[in-house]
Chains A and B, each alone.
Chain A
């Protein structure tokens, strides 16, 4: 019996009701007995050292239980081990909280104040006064590109002849810049830490992976990971910001140890800009050349990205130029510049989103130089096999996606001549841009339990940061077990459950979905054997007949040899129609069509939602998002939602999300590939290309704000001047 809810449109979000009624409990919404509150104190200088910290006033403030800094912090065993090799410089890595007196960035936590209420802790934190010795600092990427160094072993690559693009009959070279962008999920990062015993810890934590958080904490505190219970039942967005154990998490765990009570620590919105990473500010230069009829001759792609002084964050934005289009000669060069700012981290479409803005803009510029339609240009250079490895693709229907998207946006209405179409006093333009991201399948384990009342319980330690993982998993199980979705309970976000990787890299549906698939098939087979080869087993009857209260399997699942034989990618193409006001420079996105080629769509409704969310993120990247630093102080000046703009409803038109929906024969049993990253990758380029088509103005430095379109090109401070 099929569930009527699983029709062509797919299952509605299984936790939708819990979320909209407020019944879903996020990590900050637990209250273990005796819980108290921690608030961090941030450094007010950008670089130097702490001479002293006056905590007297804070300690005397009402309700304060402790003020912890590097002066009185209990030794953190994981930190000590990493730095005991005498004589050698401290190895680079994640920033160590309360480790010494060094200040490495503005806002760096220098103390945590613990009090019996949040308000008292917050107030007492304002009373902590530090004395510093300041040093000169560098926070401008533009002013420090000379000190850039090769980003890891893959910093430089070449295929064919270096700089071959210069020999092409039609060529161009341009620079493209993106500012830093901050994840800013709706839910603030938060942790509640509770030591159940001397070496036993429970945390309720916002994380994209309970198992990785368990490992991370075990490494820092050197306790057995089995002794650490990580709970993260609901996550209100993360986009990459919750893929590692951050200093605020360490602070709460230490504080809980010191005060011997559970401690809750939730970051404020301003802290979200400095404490949990961001997409790095990156300068790029692309040289691209083609034959007169549009065959690519060569691409050169350079990038310099920002990192911190203590960690080399490497996201390879240049890789897109090696694998997106068939091009015989490609050379790339990627460098990092260490600045006195906290480390960047993975953010939706890491590397590719940055690189694709440059590459898709450059392709668009080339299309005008060649006078060839941008889609036609991409089709002329369509990669039938992976240009980088030479391997066949496991599946690729991007050419169909181009056609589908073009039809739906009304591409034939696009004028190839920029700034030539107006309607009601607004300039009209169309643009497109594509994205690609590796399709991964990791390993995962799922326990499937059929209970006597006919309920199927699925358990695996995955987190759902919002894409609707539970809904997708239930859809897969309902299909295989042939039972209503309402009979399936999916349990996750708990480190005591069977292994699943962190939710990142668009890999969870492919990975955990496979485990759910395999577990369900194995369980079904077990029933069939018990009953003697029934095609659709009557689970409750079989359990009853055999006097069983339940039947369960625990199944590990991972990809096979096909992972090596084939190049596996998901692709997207975004089409955008914009209206630009010719004199005020206001850009309104009028229509968006996104097409994803990501294999079989397991959960159509949540897949649509994921594409829409990614497209909105891309519109924000194109038109609004920008971290602004006043380099005189080395400090962010727009660390709030009034000054750091992300799109609001009024900025977003109807977004059409379309799917090729053809299964990939090799990646996993469902034929499903990831979609989270490709929803955003390429979108900013599509918007910029549409703005060019509308206005004839090519904006190569995001975001495209009105000031950049009205003549005087004002670069924001972060981009230096």
Chain B
């Protein structure tokens, strides 16, 4: 491993100064970054350890719940307010990684984790995300785990997070600090599609720090479900996952939220399907139709075209669970 400097700024301002320097990278739980460093995928000159900054709070606000970016995945998943207001987030978190990893991983770090595409991790292989211009190893390679939505001719990698799928469905807002102050962006606009710059995963600038996410209050708690289909029951990335949240009044859907994981370079919100479900009675027929609608524009590759069948099946199942039909 390349030698690097390590620093622990004592204030947020000092952290922001430190990360603006070339070659500096933030480390929090380190569950992904350390692997990337070991594999030679990234080689920072300086690690800025932010673990002791006061960003661990989970506190109610006037309009929802604020979760600090350093709150641990395990803590968030067991938090009483989260369980009561947004059980979907807890389910998504618990579907991710393993208990050991969740004990280390933070909310901000989870958002910043890189794809698990095998060609990205193997430095002898081509990868536009790791080394722009070298090509995409996955496009005509082993792409069973890869994207079916929003791909570009540069990259077909997926975002591996479960938590992010839950937060995308819950209309969360990301709070970002920069040296000039704070800004807020919708969670669904935090991550980006690969387009011509697959090396850029999200819209966080190099000198910015995620300080938390805020989830607005909603009426989904009773009818939400996170369904993750994977090759084994724990410690496996999603083939397809679905976060489904419904606001149901008398058997009729007032509001719906749907997001998918394992299918795109970002958590994939199903806006059209959500809109279509409004005013519809809960029924498997309607759910299947919504699921079909969600598949518009999907494109399979050699080894992942099963996802074209699996994704709608998973949407339907998740909606059935959310609606209490299972």
A residues near B (Cβ < 8 Å) are 44, 119, 122-123, 126, 424-425, 581, 583-586, 588, 623-624, 628, 630, 632-633, 635, 637-638, 642-643, 645, 647-651, 705-707, 710-712, 714, 716-717, 721
> B310 near A643 (CB under 8 angstroms)?
no
> B141 near A705 (CB under 8 angstroms)?
no
Q: How far is the CA of A649 from the CA of B230 in the complex (A)?
A: 15
A710-B306 contact, Cβ under 8 Å, with A583-B317, A588-B233, A651-B232:
yes
Q: How far is the CA of A285 from the CA of B237 in the complex (A)?
A: 34
A584-B317 contact, Cβ under 8 Å, with A624-B231, A638-B118:
yes
Chain B residues with CB under 8 Å of A705's CB are 231
A637-B234 contact, Cβ under 8 Å, with A584-B317, A632-B141:
no
> B118 near A712 (CB under 8 angstroms)?
no
Q: Which of B188-213 contact A (CB under 8 A)?
A: none
Q: How far is the CA of A635 from the CA of B122 in the complex (A)?
A: 10
Q: How far is the CA of A635 from the CA of B141 in the complex (A)?
A: 11
The minimal Cβ–Cβ distance linking A465 to chain B, given in whole angstroms, is 25
User: Using an 8 Å CB-CB cutoff, how does the interface string of B295-316 with A read, 1 for contact, 0 for none?
Assistant: 0000000111110111001101
Q: Which of A123, A624, A714 contacts B1 (CB 8 A)?
A: A123
A586-B306 contact, Cβ under 8 Å, with A44-B124, A126-B40, A707-B239:
no
B residues near A (Cβ < 8 Å) are 1-2, 40, 98, 116, 118-119, 122, 124-125, 137, 140-142, 144, 227, 229-237, 239, 302-306, 308-310, 313-314, 316-317, 326
> B118 near A643 (CB under 8 angstroms)?
yes
> B229 near A712 (CB under 8 angstroms)?
no
Chain A residues with CB under 8 Å of B122's CB are 635, 637
The minimal Cβ–Cβ distance linking A648 to chain B, given in whole angstroms, is 5
The 4 tightest CB contacts between A and B, nearest first, are A650-B233, A707-B306, A583-B313, A650-B234
A584-B1 contact, Cβ under 8 Å, with A630-B142, A637-B118, A707-B306:
no
A712-B232 contact, Cβ under 8 Å, with A637-B122, A706-B239, A717-B142:
no
Q: How far is the CA of A705 from the CA of B118 in the complex (A)?
A: 19
The minimal Cβ–Cβ distance linking A645 to chain B, given in whole angstroms, is 5
A630-B141 contact, Cβ under 8 Å, with A126-B40, A583-B313:
yes
A706-B141 contact, Cβ under 8 Å, with A583-B316, A648-B235, A711-B309:
no
Q: How far is the CA of A322 from the CA of B137 in the complex (A)?
A: 45
For the residues of B in contact with A, the DSSP-based class is loop
Output the residue of B125, B316, B326 with the most chain A CB within 10 A: B125
> B232 near A648 (CB under 8 angstroms)?
yes
Q: Which of A122, A425, A714 contacts B326 (CB 8 A)?
A: A425
Chain B residues with CB under 8 Å of A643's CB are 116, 118
Residue ID in chain A nearest B40 by CB atoms? A126
Known: A633-B125, A642-B116. 5 other contacts (CB 8 A): A123-B2, A583-B313, A588-B233, A630-B137, A710-B309
The minimal Cβ–Cβ distance linking B215 to chain A, given in whole angstroms, is 28
Chain A residues with CB under 8 Å of B306's CB are 706-707, 710-712, 714
Q: How far is the CA of A628 from the CA of B308 in the complex (A)?
A: 22
Q: How far is the CA of A648 from the CA of B231 in the complex (A)?
A: 11
Chain B residues with CB under 8 Å of A717's CB are 141-142, 303
Listed by A's residue number, 30 A-B pairs whose Cβ atoms lie within 8 Å are: A119-B1, A123-B1, A424-B326, A583-B313, A584-B229, A585-B310, A586-B230, A623-B231, A624-B231, A628-B142, A632-B140, A637-B118, A638-B118, A642-B235, A643-B116, A645-B232, A645-B236, A647-B232, A650-B234, A651-B234, A706-B229, A706-B306, A706-B310, A707-B306, A710-B309, A711-B306, A712-B306, A714-B304, A714-B305, A717-B303
Chain A residues with CB under 8 Å of B304's CB are 714
The minimal Cβ–Cβ distance linking B115 to chain A, given in whole angstroms, is 12
Residue ID in chain A nearest B237 by CB atoms? A642
Q: How far is the CA of A424 from the CA of B125 in the complex (A)?
A: 45
A584-B141 contact, Cβ under 8 Å, with A425-B326, A645-B231, A706-B239:
no
> B141 near A714 (CB under 8 angstroms)?
no
Chain A residues with CB under 8 Å of B232's CB are 623-624, 645, 647-648, 650-651
Chain B residues with CB under 8 Å of A721's CB are 302
Chain A residues with CB under 8 Å of B305's CB are 712, 714
Output the residue of B118, B119, B302 with the most chain A CB within 10 A: B118
The minimal Cβ–Cβ distance linking A681 to chain B, given in whole angstroms, is 22
Chain B residues with CB under 8 Å of A581's CB are 317
> B310 near A707 (CB under 8 angstroms)?
yes
Chain B residues with CB under 8 Å of A119's CB are 1
Chain A residues with CB under 8 Å of B326's CB are 424-425
Q: How far is the CA of A586 from the CA of B314 in the complex (A)?
A: 11
Residue ID in chain A nearest B325 by CB atoms? A425
Q: How far is the CA of A649 from the CA of B137 in the complex (A)?
A: 33
Chain A residues with CB under 8 Å of B140's CB are 632
Q: How far is the CA of A424 from the CA of B144 in the complex (A)?
A: 29
Residue ID in chain B nearest A588 by CB atoms? B233
Chain A residues with CB under 8 Å of B1's CB are 119, 122-123
The minimal Cβ–Cβ distance linking A626 to chain B, given in whole angstroms, is 10
> B313 near A710 (CB under 8 angstroms)?
yes
The minimal Cβ–Cβ distance linking A204 to chain B, given in whole angstroms, is 26
Chain B residues with CB under 8 Å of A716's CB are 142, 144, 303
